[in-house]
Structures are given as structure tokens and as C-alpha cells.
Structure 1
Amino acid sequence: AKINETIADWGETVFAGSPAEFAAFIAAENAKWSKVIRAANIKL
């Protein structure tokens, strides 16, 4: 759909799934990027 193309143009990904699947995705992303942030000594 057009909205999916627009979101992709923004560099984002459309997530289709249950709330539990989305929560698991967010938890995995948080774990992944936390390691990157710590390794690069990035201060937020």
C-alpha cells in the first residue's frame, strides 16, 4: 500500500504482528543497540 511505501521512504519498517511479538522485537532491538552504545561509549 502507499502508506507502506511512504514509511519505507522514511527509512522505517512496518511491523505487522501481535502486541507480544512487537514487545519481543523492541526488547531485542534494545539489547542489540545497548551493546553498540556501550561499545562506542556513546552518552545519551
Structure 2
Amino acid sequence: MAMWTAVRQLYRLYYANVFILNICHPEVFGVAKDIEAVATK
């Protein structure tokens, strides 16, 4: 159970960072989406 709480906290940190990046540096998010689009093709 302790591992799950640690994983949950990591996810929370990750999503918080993504959210902050999306606001402060939307161009980074745009580049990530471009890479994702190329990778999925």
C-alpha cells in the first residue's frame, strides 16, 4: 500500500509540473505534441 501512495504522489507532482509548464511555457507543450504526432504516424 505504501508503494501506491508514493506512485500517486509522483503522478500528482508530474501533473502539477505539466500544468505549470503549460501556463508558463506553452511552446514546450506544443513541441511535445508535435513529437507525439510524428511518433504516432
Q: TM-score with structure 1 length normalisation?
A: 0.51
Considering fraction of residues, name the structure with more helix. Answer: 2
The gaps in structure 1 that reach 5 residues or longer are 1-16
Aligned match of 1:19? 3
Kindly state the Cα deviation for residue 33 of structure 1 after the two structures are TM-superposed: 1.0
* Matches of 2:16 and 2:25, distance apart in 1: 15
How many residues matched? Answer: 28
Kindly state the Cα deviation for residue 23 of structure 1 after the two structures are TM-superposed: 0.2
Q: What CA RMSD, in Å, does the superposition of the two structures yield over aligned residues?
A: 2.2
Q: TM-score with structure 2 length normalisation?
A: 0.54
The gaps in structure 2 that reach 5 residues or longer are 29-41
Runs of 4+ in 1 over 2 A off after TM superposition: none
